[in-house]
Amino acid sequence: MRKTSLPLLGLAMALGLAALALQQGCIKRDLVAGEKPGPVGKAEPASPTAQADVVVMATPEPTRTVGDTFYSRGDFRHAIAYLREEVKKDPGNAHLWRHLGSAYGQFEDYNNAIYCYKRTLALNPTDLKTFYNLSLVYDFKGALPDAEQIATKGLVMNGKDAELPFKAANVFWRQKKYDDAVTWYRKALELKPAYIDAHFGLGLALKEKGDTAGAKDELKKACDGGVKQACKHLFQL
């Protein structure tokens, strides 16, 4: 995984994001991928099947496939090979498109991952996991405005999950939009009060805004929750 630029958020939040990505079935574990049988990481960019604007009907009840099985085992090389063929046969299967996007993400093949996630959302516009994964891929790619746009859109459609406001706050942080970062860290904490990484992020954002008292309060919560970097920042205030 490429290193994300979080100089102040520190290692703890970076690890938190990585753990969340794995939990959501997205990016970066056991990088073994590529085409079948082509070289690792050399899948062609853009469209794995047809054009992105092709309109297809969503499959009502997708069934488990061979590609799904390889994906669930972490064998992303074979998952990509089979899922590519399966989406050609069943282009309305949003579940397969999401898994294919996530498999591409394992190799930092962000263009193909983005394409597949967009196909997923075209079929299932309220898929929270895909909104999160797509935002994360844009973030890894360095396309922060796109990451922000997707995260914000996902928040509008899925306002009850703490991960998207947390993700949006991180994106705003990278852009040094600290007022927005504070807003979305607080939104994440409204939905999940014990969200330690959100307390950490909020504390650092408040520190940047000059709110020392607020920063101390949030950083202490994160420090008490086991985030060593939060303790370090707290002692510096």
Mean of the pLDDT values across residues 71-87?
88
pLDDT higher than 80, residue 53: no
More confident: 227 or 64: 227
Angle of helix 212-224 relative to helix 196-208, nearest 10 degrees, comes to 160
154 in Cβ contact with 131 (< 8 Å): yes
Distance CA 127, CA 112 (A): 18
Reply yes or no: is the peptide bond before residue 193 cis, omega within 30 of 0. Answer: no
Classify domain 159-237 by CATH architecture: Alpha Horseshoe (1.25)
Classify domain 25-150 by CATH architecture: Alpha Horseshoe (1.25)
162 in Cβ contact with 192 (< 8 Å): yes
CA angle 234, 189, 159 (to 5 degrees): 150
- Least confident window among 69-78, 101-110, 121-130: 69-78
137 in Cβ contact with 164 (< 8 Å): no
| Contacting residues for 170 by C-beta, under 8 A, at least 6 apart | 6, 9, 13, 17, 139, 181, 201
- What does the pLDDT read at residue 41? 35
Is 25-150's fold the same as 159-237's? yes
The tens digit of pLDDT for each residue in 132-163 reads 889 889 988 888 888 888 877 887 776 677 88
CA quadruple 80, 84, 86, 87: dihedral positive or negative? Answer: positive
Distance CA 127, CA 150 (A): 12
Q: What is the CA radius of gyration of the chain?
A: 19
Structural domain boundaries of the chain? 25-150, 159-237
62 in Cβ contact with 93 (< 8 Å): yes
- What does the pLDDT read at residue 63? 61
In terms of Cβ atoms closer than 10 Å to its own Cβ (0-12, 13-18, 19+), residue 62 is middle
| Two tokens, residue 146 | 């796109």
